[in-house]
A and B are shown apart, each in its own frame.
Chain A
Amino acid sequence: MGRVGGTHTSGGVPGIGLAKGLAVTLRTMTRRSVTGQYPDTSPELPPRSRGVIALLEENCTVCMLCARECPDWCIYIDSHKEAVPAPEGGRPRSRNVLDRFAIDFALCMYCSICIEVCPFDALFWSPEFEYAEYDILDLTHERDRLREWMWTVPPPPAHDSRAERPKELSAAEGAEGRPGRGPRG
């Protein structure tokens, strides 16, 4: 393996190097073009592709971990506390209510730390990438827009057959096996 072209031109027929280049050109001419006709045909992107961040706000508990861990602080979260009366009397419970969740994609570095740290699976990657704007301010996606991206989130790909079983699966099965903790009907 290794040298295919190599040093054969030294002392060879003059112009052979140019001729070989033209041979490649001719060969390529007979083949199908590899150029993707982008706006007409959209590219096939793998499910892990980091295009845009989607928010499943139903899952968000306003724990602020994503906003804190973001390396350039491009996530904006506002919330307030709401008192919920306890169902069986007693002291009312307080609950966080999300007022604003926005991601500034002009700042975002697409590192996926926020998605990784989210303990309640509220953030997901979507491979969608066509959200360029004329005004940089419009790159800040508010919660409605982030929620809309959820519809484009693909299911995660299966892991390699030699991968360790996800700990969530083992934990779930362990819980099922335990007496009294099985799925309740």
Chain B
Amino acid sequence: MGTERTVAVGIGAEELATADMTLNIGPQHPSTHGVLRLRLTLDGERISRAEPIIGYMHRGAEKLFEVRDYRQIIVLANRHDWLSAFSSELGVVVAVERMLGMEIPERAVWARTLLAELNRVLNHLMFLGSYPLEIGAITPVFYAFRERETLQRVMEEASGGRMHYMFNRVGGLKEDLPAGWLDRARAAVREVRSRMSDIEWIIRGNEIFRARTRGVGVLSPEAVLQYGVSGPVARAAGVDFDLRRDEPYLAYGELFGPGRPGRVVRRTEGDCYARFECLLDQVYVSLDLADACLDRLADLPPGPINVRLPKVLKAPEGHTYAWTENPLGINGYFLVSRGEKTPYRMKLRSASYNNIQVLSELLPGNLVADMIAILGSMFFVVGDIDK
């Protein structure tokens, strides 16, 4: 605990001299998830300065990428944001495929889109459960985890993993989907959609929850743009930006647009409640997208799900930047290759890293009691910050 005490003279002449206090939240603290440390300067109960201190979980992912081939990189890309593993591995293979100018079989494109959306639902459900938990509502997390389990089962059946799917490969997917999987995935999506109302009813309209989150931690669209905040956090502040619609990759080009299932969920309030609502509504959109992908997969003609690769896969010399709309925001890989089987450099732009920086702007002026509400509503994964 930092014991630095800054003595400041009160503003009013009549007031007592007060002292600012520096308070460390984390890196080990029951109310933070993971090892994010915040150094708060408090003026009484009010936060006057907040500084996120990051790096306690830095694993050097970017440096490790440089000594891994393109299949081994997927192992690592899985892990920086452990709640968006599928979407993160997707960015890597998209980058390499773009460098190679590789054409991906149509079934692979739709299966990837489907799995990416299911992964998004899984990610959002985690936060829909954990956020109320952080501000004192214990029950929703059980409902969220029930739904997560339903989806994780189909993800595990296809990929073999429950978190680190390791199912993408350059050129498609690792192996074809198991027989009957599409029906089971459809049933899982239907089940989750039918039970989402439980989570809605239990928390969305809850007066206590609303009182804790309405008008708290208002993020302005200007701050969003200045700090490069992205994802549901940015859209809750009114920034209308979603890569799935604005720079479509995979099959999203066919899924977004008038009369199609893809919608960009947006709010304008920018407060904690808007961020929570964005996440909740995005689940419905993702479930609709998953259904559309399932329909499409059932209609596609038989064909391969991957491209046969050479024994040693080398990306040609050059560079590319592949970004994807990950559940938590923009996830980008800047891949520089010198024609070897490992990248020369692979820069990772992770969503949470940028999203968390805005805390230094968002927290000052708020009460300590609201800090957890704000922190939880920023929807971050510490591994994604520290990389």
Q: A residues engaging B (CB < 8 A)? A: 1-6, 8-9, 14-18, 20-21, 23-25, 27-28, 34, 45-46, 48-50, 69, 71, 109-113, 116, 125, 157-164
Contact = CB atoms under 8 A, between A and B. Distances in A.
Question: Most B CB atoms within 10 A — which of A4, A16, A27?
Answer: A4
A82 B113 CA distance: 51
Contacts of A125: 160
A112 B160 contact: yes
Which label, helix, strand, loop or mixed, suits the secondary structure of the B interface?
A: helix
A113 B207 CA distance: 50
Classify chain B's interface size. 35 or more
B340 to A, nearest CB: 16
Question: Most B CB atoms within 10 A — which of A15, A48, A158?
Answer: A48
B160 A50 contact: yes
Nearest to A43: B153
Contacts of A34: 146, 149
B302 A161 contact: yes
Given A17-B210, A113-B71, A161-B302, A4 B197 contact: yes
A162 B107 contact: yes
Contacts of A157: 157, 178-179
B20 interface: no
A6 B204 contact: yes
Nearest to A5: B200
Given A14-B207, A112-B160, 4 more contacts: A34-B146, A71-B68, A71-B72, A113-B71
Interface of B: 68, 71-72, 74-76, 107, 139, 143, 146, 149, 153, 156-161, 164, 166, 174-182, 196-198, 200-210, 281, 284-285, 288, 297, 300-305
A18 B208 contact: yes
Contacts, number: 131
A113 B206 contact: no
Contact of B177 (A23, A111, A160): A160
Which 7 pairs, one residue from A and one from B, show the smallest C-beta to C-beta distance?
A: A17-B205, A5-B200, A163-B176, A48-B160, A157-B178, A9-B205, A46-B157
A8 B207 CA distance: 12
B166 A112 contact: yes
B107 A24 contact: no
Contacts of A160: 176-182
A90 to B, nearest CB: 32
Contact of B75 (A8, A27, A46, A71): A71
21 contacts: A4-B200, A9-B210, A17-B209, A20-B201, A24-B143, A28-B198, A34-B146, A46-B157, A49-B156, A109-B164, A110-B166, A112-B174, A157-B179, A158-B178, A159-B175, A159-B179, A160-B180, A161-B302, A162-B301, A162-B303, A164-B176
Contacts of A162: 107, 297, 300-303
Contact of B202 (A25, A112, A164): A25
A79 B302 CA distance: 44
B284 A1 contact: yes
Given A111-B75, A113-B71, A2 B205 contact: no
